[in-house]
Amino acid sequence: MQKAKLAILASGRGSNAVALIQASKSADFPAEVALVLSDNRDAPVLKKAEELGVKALYLDPGPKRSYLIPEVEASWIQALQENDVDYVLLAGFMRLLKRTFLEAFPLRVLNIHPALLPSFRGLDAQQQAWEYGVRYSGATVHFVDSSLDAGPIILQEPVKVLPDDTPQSLADRILEAEHRIYPEAVRLLCQGRLRIEGRRVKILREWNSKEAHGK
The residue (of 12 and 62) whose beta carbon lies closer to ligand GRF is 12
Q: 164-193: which residues touch ligand GRF (CB under 6 A)?
A: 175, 178
The residue (of 110 and 212) whose beta carbon lies closer to ligand GRF is 110
Question: Helix 125-132 crosses helix 167-190 at what angle (to 10 degrees)?
Answer: 120
Of the candidates 1, 53, 81, 31, the residue with the CA atom closest to the CA atom of residue 187: 31
x/- contact string, 114-133, with ligand GRF (CB under 6 A)? x-------------------
x/- contact string, 24-53, with ligand GRF (CB under 6 A)? ------------------------------
61 lies in the binding site for ligand GRF (CB under 6 A): no
Is the bond leading into 118 cis (omega within 30 degrees of zero)? yes
Q: Identify whether the C-beta of residue 56 lies closer than 8 Å to the C-beta of residue 28.
A: no
14 lies in the binding site for ligand GRF (CB under 6 A): yes
Strands 31-38 and 4-9: parallel
113 lies in the binding site for ligand GRF (CB under 6 A): yes
Strand residue runs (E) in 40-108: 56-58, 87-90
Q: Identify whether the C-beta of residue 139 lies closer than 8 Å to the C-beta of residue 168.
A: no
What are the two backbone dihedrals, phi and then psi, of residue 136, each rounded to the nearest 5 degrees? Answer: -135, 135
- Alpha-carbon distance of 109 to 145, in angstroms, equals 8
Query: Exactly one of 113, 142, 179, 213 is catalytic; which is it?
Result: 113
The residue (of 10 and 35) whose beta carbon lies closer to ligand GRF is 10
> Given candidates 112, 141, 154, 188, which one binds ligand GRF under the rule CB under 6 A?
112
> Given candidates 23, 29, 30, 92, which one binds ligand GRF under the rule CB under 6 A?
92
142 given a catalytic annotation? no
Length of the chain: 215
Return the active site residues. Answer: 113
Residues in touch with ligand GRF (CB under 6 A): 10, 12-17, 91-92, 112-114, 175, 178
